[in-house]
Amino acid sequence: MTSLGVVGLEAGYVRDLPILTDVDLVAESGRLTTIIGPNGAGKSTLIKAIAGLVPISAGRIVLGEQSITGLRPDLMGQHSLAYVPQTDNIFRTLTIDENLALTLRGEAGVRARITELYELFPALREKQREKAGGLSGGQRQMLAMAMALTRKPTVMLLDEPSAGLSPKIATEVLDLVRSLTDQGVTVLLVEQNVKQALRVADHCYILAEGRNQIDGPAADIAKDPVVGEIYLGGKRMSAA
């Protein structure tokens, strides 16, 4: 089991113009930690910096006991870390089966692992020979998640898996995200859907203007009207 830590992180896209300033975070082993906050807060930037996709100018990222600061994204898998981006997370012109097989790059036991993943995502099994571009939004997120799970990661980073989904499908997708923790996976989830995120999370961080604002047990944050008012624009907290 592996926890993920972020310490004093400064990161951004342009030199000397950091988007994140002095960000601290701990995603406890086998727990679901969520990051919420207004548009442009730096949530995606934070998760991308952890995944090695945004330059880090100060601070560090620690996986278990090991520093993975500035990790090369292609080496992430070796550290048992998987990242599911917000968009463009599947190959539309390939079939479901081909998308999954591709992530395993012809390694031994590919068929067995894909069969296991179809157990977890039965909707994908039914469509395994169809092109991924024809999937519904929810099924597409499930495929992206299945692709991230092929190498049995111990840490999963997910960026807004419920974006653009109906409330019913968003619930299904987030329940699946939650179920990853039952398998011992450490999950770090960025969400716009505050109510749903707090429903499935153990711990919550609120990020605004690239800085930590407040954090606490998800159940406490959900009950705190002041938090909702100040950082999430009031109405957001009660939105479905």
Ligand X SMILES: Nc1ncnc2c1ncn2[C@@H]1O[C@H](COP(=O)(O)OP(=O)(O)OP(=O)(O)O)[C@@H](O)[C@H]1O
* Angle CA 114–191–203, to nearest 5: 95
Chain-centroid distance of CA 66 in Å reads 20
Residue 2 or 44: the one with the smaller Cβ distance to ligand X is 44
Sole binder of ligand X in the list 15, 16, 39, 235 (CB under 6 A): 39
Q: 54 vs 49, 78, 119, 152, 196, CA distance in Å?
A: 5, 19, 35, 24, 27
Residue 110 or 230: the one with the smaller Cβ distance to ligand X is 230
The label of the residue with tokens 């092109």 reads 131
Among positions 184-213, residues that touch ligand X (CB under 6 A) are 192
**44 near Mg ion, judged by CB under 5 A:** yes
Identify which range of 42-50, 89-97, 170-178, 225-233 contacts ligand X by CB under 6 A: 42-50
- Sequence-distant (6+) residues with CB within 8 A of 219 are 198
Q: Which two tokens stand for residue 82?
A: 């998987």
**19 near ligand X, judged by CB under 6 A:** yes
**41 near ligand X, judged by CB under 6 A:** yes
Sole binder of ligand X in the list 3, 33, 34, 44 (CB under 6 A): 44
**21 near ligand X, judged by CB under 6 A:** no
Identify which range of 36-44, 68-76, 141-149, 212-220 contacts ligand X by CB under 6 A: 36-44
Q: Which two tokens stand for residue 23?
A: 């960000």
SS3 13: coil
**56 near ligand X, judged by CB under 6 A:** no
Q: How many residues are there in the chain?
A: 240
Binding footprint of ligand X on the chain (CB under 6 A): 13, 19, 37, 39-45, 192
